[in-house]
Structure 1
């Protein structure tokens, strides 16, 4: 994801990176070519074969705008739920770290650091699972060797890390570092983390119905392809301008909805999971107040454009 500062309204007109315009240019080029063909046919063919007029497009356009509104709302709901789930992960992980650091009878700091590092590793494991990427390079320096050996071969790595966190808490209870109430409070936060993992997996495994997306996609492109032939009678030489404006609006909305439907992906409008993981680990480092506990590397920035690249 690209996280930008607020831009002036005029600069917003020329933003390139992070917009869907680059991927729409070939399609808009096709609409422009069809508009030029419609003008040529209208002006140079004695028996103009297609005289659609604007009323049919007005009716279809209104219906299409309503369907696109529902499509975008459904996709944005998924993006927003993913954002809330990862926000809950950060909040719950901080609470879990605070509980571990403030145990009535704390164990040695090295053991507690292993617990905090595993919490950060949980966030990275979930990020890689949702994106289908290799987690080895991020998990190896964060997890204890015995835990990393267990997790490396697992399909659902976050669940295994949660199991280890629960085992760590149970071991502290047996040693007398935690009483029953403290263990219940920590277990509630572990359950909350498990709910976050399950919620993210649900979003990833249950996309919007494919037939619904295909229907809207086909209708948009059929509408945009025929639009120049309906505008040419009234717009004349301005047909390419109006056809491109309408096509850009409809195609861009459909492209944005397709991007944010999977909020955990790697496209420029998906959630900034790298930045969220770095934020969590920075908070864990500050809470530990231990120079031996390594902070997360900073999130990359583009110095020339002053935005965060995830």
Structure 2
């Protein structure tokens, strides 16, 4: 994701990082070359070149603009929904870390105060309770990293495995759906807390709501990732944009003359740029310049949750590469 201040009016024309120009440069250059060829042919052989009026291009341009607007709006809605889902992931993981420590500690404190007969066991119980608390929070960290790898199709690395035991790591490597498996492990930790009476049923129900919310976030992200916009719709837009930009010089050459290649290139930049931008936003979980900064967000979750556990050696935040946040 590109995060930067708005450049000045002069620099605005020379910004390439984060621009779609490098992606659509071949289409722009080819459109300009077609415009120059049409101008050259018209100036040398005016009677042999088919010349069109501007009217059909105006009608087709308006129609194409409307369709591109609908497509880009649909792509942006997918991008924004994905960002809201990851915002909810941050909320739920922070809430889970806070609740599991608050509820479990309160339960043990109440036992210590109101059940004197088990005071000889409370030290071991508190240590065991804190172990389950820590495991549950660490699993939430692993889940956020695993969700990122799952959506991007990248290899799972140490950021997922470092909080897991060797046995759990071996089991995780064998399963196909790793984020869902980690959710099951979190449910197992919650069951242990409830069975050992480290938390009450009401507290367990509240924590289960957090796990259910994480499961809903996982399913919603998969829905966006696995359901692209209809291929026929994209194909129609691609074909229409190419046909429009390559035929446009035939309608402009009589009125613009030598400026035909320049104007054609500007119009091609507009249409192909909107098309390319909509295509990038369609899948917001990738690693292009306009996709969501999943690595930054998942590492921020790790830092926040480790602070909740009062850990001292916190990882450093992910530094952006210039204006690019991964």
Name the TM tier (shorter chain): over 0.9
Residue 75 (structure 2) pairs with residue 56 (structure 1): no
Residue in structure 2 matched with residue 14 of structure 1 by the alignment? 14
Query: 2:315 matched to which residue of 1?
Result: 296
Q: Distance in 1 between matches of 2:19 and 2:152?
A: 21
Match of 1:182? Answer: 203
What are the Cα deviations for residues 170-209 of structure 1, in whole angstroms up to 9, with x where unaligned? 1011111100100000000100000000001111111111
SS of 1:2 mapped into structure 2: coil
The size of the alignment, in residue pairs, is: 305
1:80 paired residue number? 80
Greater share of helix residues, 1 or 2? 2
Partner of 1:31: 31
Which structure 2 residue ranges, 5 or more long, are not aligned?
A: 109-125
Instruction: Report the alpha carbon displacement of residue 228 of structure 1 after superposing the two structures with TM.
Output: 1.2
Gaps of 5+ in 1: none
Residue 258 of structure 1: aligned partner: 279
Structure with the greater alpha carbon radius of gyration? 2
Does the 8 A contact of 1:76 with 1:261 survive in 2? yes
CA root-mean-square deviation: 1.5
Secondary structure in structure 2 of the residue aligned to 1:163: helix
Normalised TM-score (structure 1): 0.94
Residues 125-161 of structure 1: CA deviation (Å, up to 9, x unaligned): 1111111111133212132333222211111111110
Contact map agreement 2:39 2:260 (CA 8 A) in 1: yes
**Which runs of at least 4 in structure 1 moved beyond 6 Å after TM superposition?**
none
Task: Tell me the equivalent position of 2:153.
Answer: 132
1:110, CA displacement in angstroms? 4.4
Corresponding residue for residue 218 of structure 1: 239
Check if 1:309 corresponds to 2:310.
no
SS of structure 2 residue aligned to 1:296: coil
Which residue of structure 2 lines up, in the alignment, with residue 101 of structure 1? Answer: 101
Contact 2:107 2:200 in 1 (8 A): no
Contact between 1:299 and 1:308, CA under 8 Å: does it hold in 2? no
* Equivalent position of 2:119 in the other structure: none
Q: Do the aligned partners of 1:100 and 1:112 also contact (CA within 8 Å) in 2?
A: yes
1:34 and 1:225 in contact (8 A); partners too: yes
The CA distance in 2 between the partners of 1:178 and 1:10, in whole Å, is: 62
Mapped contact 2:280–2:291 kept (Cα < 8 A): yes
Q: Secondary structure at the match of 1:18?
A: coil
Counterpart CA distance in 1 for 2:46 and 2:58 is: 27
Going from structure 1 to structure 2, the CA distance change for 1:144 and 1:12 (only over 3 Å counts) comes to farther
2:165 aligned with 1:144, yes or no?
yes
C-alpha distance 296-7 of structure 1, shift in aligned 2 (>3 A): farther
Whole-angstrom distance in 2 between the partners of 1:308 and 1:23 = 17
C-alpha distance in 2, partners of 1:18/1:35? Answer: 28
Q: TM-score scaled to structure 2, two decimals? A: 0.89
How far apart, CA to CA, are the structure 1 residues paired with 2:151 and 2:281? Answer: 14
